[in-house]
Amino acid sequence: MSARQAAARLLPFGARAFAHAARAGEVVGTVSNAHRAASSVMEVPQRLLMGPGPANAHPRILAAQALPLLGHMHPPFLKIMDEISEGLRYVFQTDSKYTLMVSGTGHAGMEAAIANLLEPGEKIIVGNAGIWGERVADLSARYGGDVIELKVPAGKTFSLPELTAALEQHKPKVLFLCQGESSTGTHQSLAGLGEVCRRTGTLLLVDTVCSLGGVPLFADAWGVDCIYSGSQKCLSGPPGAAPFFMSERAMEKLQSRATKPATFNLDMNLIGDYWGWFGKRSYHHTGMVSTMYAMREALAIVAEEGLDNLWARHLAGHQQLWEGLSKLGLKPFVENDADRLITVNTIKIPDGVDWAAVVKNAMDKYNLEIAGGLGPTAGKVWRIGIMGYNATPANVALVIEAFRDGLAQQGKL
């Protein structure tokens, strides 16, 4: 055997003698290596993510993503999907069988809710208290909805009387509210709305992307009909999965539509069938296997801690943060304590302070992420996330120290 023949036997099957599977008539030229990356191992810096999200993931959740892949229709993976659905029932506090993880971020959950609940020409009242209300209004218009926007100034929330008046006047098919508005730092009360929505024939849709697991939520008891959320905040998972819930009323609306949802990817008739909502399993898309491992562990960790303890831990972190920040002369952007969100805290930028320099110093010196404002609060606030695995006294203390240092460097203390 020649040296060339011996070397060829050591090559991978597809590389021997430059073998390929091109079709007849296809010209196979010389492969360009102009963009071929050098062999390397990826390096990622360690950072403490105390902005509005993502938060750092629990180590057990990160480890879950390294487990062997399963087929997306294999019985062991379907069992994991069932465990996720059950874990979501606990987090949402519902007995509904219609819970799942949408394959995608919170925006995918948002679009899924609008696409499935709203038909062209139907009215939707959108409570616009920040950027997430703006985006739901945009999405609803794109799906042909008759959008009625209610607006409040940044840092304010809607009262039950004003929402009741709008519901009774317009009798929309859907009312949208954001429980935790991360762009402004407000916490919208849902008290009494379920009853009013039932009286007006309206479905109550709630965004809980940055609040689920951080503040109380009782889907069934409060009469909520549809909820979407995010995986990467108070649940301590990686970005890429959107917890999703529908009530029986919402499912009745979906199944009585005159038109199909104008999306295949997010049609809950099809996705729900993949998740076993209707007593069988049908292929819809390739489920995000490793991400689902992570979210199964995330929900298990929530159950082990218990919602009462989880809510209390987030509140304690919020209280510790403001006790420390107030000693530095910093003030909350949301003036009314009853409107203030505890998971994403908005801090007024004092006059004469270079807010971006404070953010940069925190990253450069402490490997700590804090953020500026977004949408209506851009240039007006800093945003501090106290969420999930990161909601600990030591992490909050580091945030306070980074503010003290950053302000001191500008002669503001």
Peptide bond into 54 cis (omega under 30): yes
| pTM (predicted TM-score) | 0.93
Average pLDDT, the chain: 95
Give the phi and the psi of residue 286 in degrees, each rounded to 5.
-80, 110
Query: Residue 39's pLDDT is what?
Result: 86
Q: Rounded CA gap, 266 and 273, in Å?
A: 12
Residues 382 and 371: beta-carbon distance below 8 Å? yes
pLDDT of amino acid 17: 55
Give the per-residue pLDDT at 19: 86
Tell me how far apart the alpha carbons of residues 151 and 212 are, in angstroms, rounded to a whole number: 23
Reported as a pLDDT band with limits 50, 70 and 90, residue 10 is very low
Of the candidates 49, 20, 94, the one whose C-alpha atom is nearest the C-alpha of residue 232 is 49
Q: How confident is the model at residue 5 (pLDDT cuts 50, 70, 90)?
A: low
Dump strand ranges (E) for 104-235: 123-128, 146-151, 174-178, 180-181, 186-187, 203-207, 226-228
Give me the residues paired with residue 346 across strands: 383
Q: What is the pLDDT of residue 11?
A: 47
Q: Go through 323-353 and write b for each residue having 16 or more CB atoms within 10 A of its CB, e for each that does not.
A: ebbeebebebbbeeeebbbbbbbbbbbeeeb
Residue 2 has pLDDT above 70, yes or no: no
Give residue 179's pLDDT.
98
The CB density around residue 10, as the number of other CB atoms within 10 Å, is 8
Residue with tokens 């929330």: 157
Question: Is residue 8 scored above 70 in pLDDT?
Answer: no
pLDDT per residue over 145-200, tens digit each?
Answer: 999 999 999 999 999 999 999 999 999 999 999 999 999 999 999 999 999 999 99
Task: Encode pLDDT of 156-165 as tens digits.
Answer: 999 999 999 9
